[in-house]
Structure 1
């Protein structure tokens, strides 16, 4: 779905590194310092990027807060969200062994599930190919062509990834028009999302999306656009071609689950470790309890393990606040907290940052206090001078001062959550 906040280069990154990162948990090494550039808390702002990575066949490498850890979901077989825009890198050709269910089979299945119309720009990968099976095409019902793609993969039932796919993203992080998350009669989950290719609405390309996850971990990822390409193509119609009912029909088709069952198991795949982060609801409750007098909570975001976000207003305009609480982060302490870090009497290290907001909204600044305790508990809190990270600044400075952010991050209350 989902999914972020992703920038223009994300899909290029995914196309180029999909195969290289497929086994990220086992043999991929990266510059952790680049991943831990201080500033942004994790949260649902990364969901859209993460889902795009899953569907592109990348090993869904997602930044866990600013902690530098690599989160590698168990669905490493998954997906095929490719880019059909002109001028974009050509998807890698199918392997010689396309599998018992081929790219042609998947494309034929997709066409059979769509209403009557014209099809062009068909491409895909079979279940035996790497980095994962997908089918995509341009579908035209006579009212203008729209790109439609289906990616297939596996997720670990009950995992954090499965829970995220079965929920709507945080409106604070990702503006959208509508979203529903439903548990079906057989225990499967279906999330239907209606939003935009770019959260900042720089263009009017709409992105509608369905995530289907079965109780056995089958993951079907269906996307459609009101243009013949995901990016860099003019809108051809007001809305994507499939209604929510039609999108549901495609996503829940049993043929996809048979195809997923045929995906060869990868012996090198690293299982997803259970989350060790504290409950997001408890994180949010604690954050609210630590707010200074004079600020009002306008909006509460959807909490996630170890993460919470709020929109505050002190009478001078809205201000987004995000917090991550991450235990056992001692392995990155040296990279995050240099020799210039302040050391408190109890051994807690503190660093502070005041810098432009990472999403590029006009005039947005991000103030951050990052802390780590001797036992490895890391608390990092950021505040912005806007109600979200995609819009222009609405005030000169965040609603919380650096002193107030420091008081929140260093509070003893966080130790009670882990």
Structure 2
């Protein structure tokens, strides 16, 4: 890929920003990591061919039943003390990131603060819309509420543009991803070698607070998929993706490039507005978002 002028322009900006701060093995047999990682941002459950998000296949302990996470943005944050180093690339050679230490985070689910409730899938889609760059026209919203099976997983998607050139963007929010994982699993997961093929772009960096950010772009024929995958120091994972297709993973291709740059995807996942619990009014206001398709 490397010769796409728009991509290089985006990455040049990203490089300036990110200079400050994005092989699971089972029984000794290396699994097809690229496919497994892709599966971690997709969800099946009969939603056409969409395989939405939850966990790295073959590493089910990442988000296990009964594993909780402290409330996002509340309480004391864990320090980003040195953990396990994971290989990354910066466009010019190998780099490395340090995985935060999640060992001291509580494992049980936190109660909501007084007067607050869990964010709905619809409110997740509404926030994704709010965080789009100025001038981006969106529609065809969809989302998934947390369920008994996936208590701390939220998913939303929307289309950008007008028919018949609508392109998809999506967000997955997973709490407990850090504390529900081992360092070894996270090292594999937040490695560029598990995300892209040779010649595709990927950069892994630590942000100022110790969070880990992966920015990468993949190609499948004419389909171009861009992703920002953030592992926050509170253990929450946020991954935003966009493609030049009507569906991020499956197409068909409807444009020459994705509707969002890597810099814009980074801005979405690093927003401090992503919280698990919200005032009930947030969910109530989101009911005005139309047209909306619930995935539950």
- Compute the TM-score of the two structures, normalised by the length of structure 1: 0.40
Q: Does 1:118 align with 2:137?
A: yes
SS at match of 2:202: strand
Alignment partners' CA distance in 1, 2:236 and 2:278:
8
Unmatched 5+ residue regions in structure 2? Answer: 1-25, 44-50, 68-116, 280-296
Q: What residue is the counterpart of 1:136 in the other structure? A: 157
**Contact 1:58 / 1:76 at 8 angstroms: preserved in 2?**
no
The number of residue pairs the alignment matches comes to: 191
Q: What residue is the counterpart of 1:162 in the other structure? A: 186
Q: Aligned match of 1:212 in 211, 230, 233?
A: 230
Q: What residue is the counterpart of 1:60 in the other structure? A: 56
SS at match of 1:150: strand
Q: Aligned match of 2:172 in 121, 132, 151?
A: 151
* Gap change, CA 1:56 and 1:204, over 3 Å in 2: same
Q: Aligned match of 1:246 in 257, 264, 277?
A: 264
What pairs up with 1:98-113 in 2 under 5 angstroms? Answer: 100-113=118-131
Q: What residue is the counterpart of 2:202 in the other structure? A: 179
What pairs up with 1:300-319 in 2 under 5 angstroms? Answer: none
- Ranges of 4+ aligned residues in structure 1 off by more than 6 Å: none
Q: What residue is the counterpart of 1:75 in the other structure? A: 63
Q: What residue is the counterpart of 2:113 in the other structure? A: none
The CA RMSD over aligned residues, in Å, is 3.4
Q: Does 1:236 align with 2:254?
A: yes
Residue 57 of structure 1, CA deviation: 4.1
SS at match of 1:52: coil
Alignment partners' CA distance in 2, 1:57 and 1:108:
19
Q: What residue is the counterpart of 2:211 in the other structure? A: 188
Alignment partners' CA distance in 2, 1:57 and 1:76:
14
Residue 112 of structure 1, CA deviation: 0.5
Alignment partners' CA distance in 1, 2:166 and 2:190:
29
Q: Does 1:222 align with 2:255?
A: no
SS at match of 1:228: coil
**CA-to-partner distance for each residue in 1:238-296, whole Å, 9 max, x for gaps?**
1111111101001111222x12899xxxxxxxxxxxxxxxxxxxxxxxxxxxxxxxxxx
Alignment partners' CA distance in 1, 2:162 and 2:187:
34
**Contact 1:107 / 1:135 at 8 angstroms: preserved in 2?**
yes
SS at match of 2:30: coil
Alignment partners' CA distance in 2, 1:213 and 1:260:
19
**CA-to-partner distance for each residue in 1:172-213, whole Å, 9 max, x for gaps?**
x734521111100000011001112x4xxxx31111111100
What pairs up with 1:271-282 in 2 under 5 angstroms? Answer: none
Greater relative CO (CA pairs within 8 A, separation 6+): 2
Alignment partners' CA distance in 1, 2:160 and 2:148:
24
**CA-to-partner distance for each residue in 1:36-71, whole Å, 9 max, x for gaps?**
8x9x63364454345335882455332xxxxxxxx3
Please say which structure displays the higher CA radius of gyration. Answer: 1
